[in-house]
Amino acid sequence: MKKLFTLIAVAAMAFAAQANTLTVCDMEATNSQVPIYGLYCDVNGTIGQMIYPAEMLEDMVGSDINQVVFYSQEIKFSNAKLQLSLKDGVSQMDFADYAYFTDLEANAELTPNAGDTEMVFNLDEPFTYNGGNLVVEVKVIEAGDWATTYFYGMDTDYAASYYQYWYSWSDTPSQWTAKFLPKATFTYEAGQVTPPTPTEKTGAPTFLGHTEDGIYAYFVEIIPTEPSTIYYRIIYPDGTESEWAVYEEELSFNSEGKYRVEAYAVADGKLPSEQIAYEFVLDKMTGINEVAGGKQVAGVRYFNMAGQEMQQANGLTIVVTTYTDGTTSAVKVVK
């Protein structure tokens, strides 16, 4: 007998969300206009918008963004409250027509400290990124003290950034574009991944029992009807039960008494099969005896010694009888 291992039943469950980070545009180039134009942080409404191409963000598709970080040599402006907003799935990749995006989702506010090298925006609520080009906007919502600040990022071949600001003496804003994308780190949750609930049952396995000439033992093979993992347990003559275990090799019995082997199968993406049972008696005097006990026979199958099924008994044959209560028995006959 092989060693039995405990079967641990695993219920379908959602995998816990995991925090991940994605850093883009990690270059040494600098720009003082985006993500925010520090020289005009003393004017409410000053904005910077950046379009991050979808190809940079593939790892985040379907995820919830909860933090965005920008990097500077040193933040010089102070006391300005900034607001971060996002817009997903835009088709264009540049601001060639000097038109900026509206209807963004405002999610985070921040008042950076002069001397910091990072602007860390923690979103009040996660923003789900579904793919496509992503617009990120930083806007002055409470004016502060102005000063030029340079942010790290990468130069581009297209107008990937837009900024707009007001002179203190004019109601007409100034608008510019830049071939630059700021370095940014997105922190995101991979999301709740819930496996679909299976509806189809696995095909039940079958049994094949046999003896071998000159060996006092009875052998039981459990045969799958489709690729699956088979679990089994044994009820011994004294009424004790083994633990459920994964079936890997043929079972053998060499002590007298009545045995019952129970089994079921589980295929990937399917429910467990119906549980089946196989009963037999091992007797030193009479060999293998069929256990009928007055039960009704549901069907009879015939197998040769190689395990191949036959239409009828022929020569040395294993006769497998299935009863209406789901149990089976096997005897070896010569015809």
Q: Looking at the predicted structure, is the pLDDT value of residue 48 above 90? A: yes
CA–CA distance, 237 with 282 (Å, rounded to integer): 10
Order of strands across the sheet with 105-110? 105-110, 81-90, 133-142, 47-52, 161-165, 174-178
Distance between the two ends of the chain, CA-based, in angstroms? 31
| Residue 294, pLDDT score | 43
| Residue 101, pLDDT score | 93
Under 8 Å between Cβ of 237 and 284: no
Q: Which amino acid is at 85?
A: S
CA–CA distance, 312 with 80 (Å, rounded to integer): 92
- Average pLDDT rounded to a whole number, residues 141-156: 97
| Residue 33, pLDDT score | 95
pLDDT-based confidence at residue 172 (cuts at 50, 70, 90): confident
- Average pLDDT rounded to a whole number, residues 170-194: 86
CA–CA distance, 85 with 94 (Å, rounded to integer): 18
Quick check: helix, strand or coil at residue 153?
Answer: strand
Question: Whose structure tokens read 């933040």?
Answer: 75
Report which of 271, 260, 266 is spatially closest to residue 326, judged by C-alpha positions.
260
Under 8 Å between Cβ of 313 and 333: yes
| Residue 11, pLDDT score | 34
For strands 328-334 and 316-323, give the pairing: antiparallel
Under 8 Å between Cβ of 215 and 239: no
Q: What is the mean pLDDT of the chain?
A: 85
pLDDT-based confidence at residue 267 (cuts at 50, 70, 90): very high
- Average pLDDT rounded to a whole number, residues 63-85: 97
Write out the two tokens for 317: 């044959």
| Residue 117, pLDDT score | 97
| Residue 334, pLDDT score | 52
Q: Exposure string (b/e) for 264-297, b if CB count within 10 Å is 16 or more?
A: bbbbeebebbeebebbbbbeeeeebeebeeeeee
pLDDT-based confidence at residue 232 (cuts at 50, 70, 90): very high
- Average pLDDT rounded to a whole number, residues 236-264: 93
Write out the two tokens for 266: 């589980």
pLDDT-based confidence at residue 326 (cuts at 50, 70, 90): confident
Q: Which amino acid is at 208?
A: L
Rounded to two decimals, what is the model's pTM? 0.55
Q: Looking at the predicted structure, is the pLDDT value of residue 283 above 50? A: yes
Write out the two tokens for 223: 């045969």
pLDDT top residue among 297 and 277: 277
pLDDT-based confidence at residue 285 (cuts at 50, 70, 90): very low
Q: Which domains does the chain have, with CATH numbers?
A: 19-189 (2.60.120), 206-334 (no CATH)
Report which of 287, 300, 304, 288 is spatially closest to residue 328, judged by C-alpha positions.
300
CA–CA distance, 173 with 169 (Å, rounded to integer): 10
Which pLDDT tens digit goes with each residue over 90-138?
A: 989 999 877 899 999 988 999 999 999 999 999 999 999 998 999 999 9
Which pLDDT tens digit goes with each residue over 10-32?
A: 333 333 445 799 999 999 999 99
Report which of 282, 287, 297 is spatially closest to residue 328, judged by C-alpha positions.
297
pLDDT-based confidence at residue 60 (cuts at 50, 70, 90): very high
Q: Looking at the predicted structure, is the pLDDT value of residue 158 above 90? A: yes
Report which of 230, 149, 136 is spatially closest to residue 185, judged by C-alpha positions.
136
pLDDT top residue among 71 and 280: 71
